[in-house]
Amino acid sequence: DIQMTQSPSTLSASVGDRVTITCRASQSISSRLAWYQQKPGKAPKILIYKASSLESGVPSRFSGSGSGTEFTLTISSLQPDDFATYYCHQHYSYPLTFGGGTKVEIK
C-alpha cells in the first residue's frame, strides 16, 4: 500500500500569510495526486488535481506542485475562508489512500 504522509499536522497562520503543506508518498505516484479542503461537518472539496491543475472555480491563490513522491500545496495569501483541514490523496494505485490531514488554524 502507498502511504501518504502530510506535514505539518497542524499549522497556525495569520490572514495574508503564505502557507505551504507537504505530502510525501512512500513510492512514486507520478502526478496522480489531488488536494482537498474540508471544513467541519462538510464534505471534502476538490482544490487541485493531477498534482498541479487548479479545479474550476477554485481561487488562484491555491497552487500545487510536485511529482513522484513529494508534493506541495501552497496558499499564496491566506484568507479567512481558508481555515480548514487539507488532505492529499493518491489515485495512482489501489488501495487508494489519503494523507492524515493538515489543520490550518488562526494564529
Which stretches of the chain bind other proteins, using CB under 8 A?
Answer: 32, 34, 36, 38, 42-46, 49-50, 55, 87, 89, 91, 94-101
Nearest CB to other proteins, comparing residues 15 and 96: 96
**Minimum gap (Å) between residue 38 Cβ and other proteins:** 8
**Minimum gap (Å) between residue 25 Cβ and other proteins:** 15
Residue 64 CA to residue 53 CA, distance in Å, equals: 7
Nearest CB to other proteins, comparing residues 38 and 76: 38
Q: How many CB atoms lie within 10 A of CB 14?
A: 9
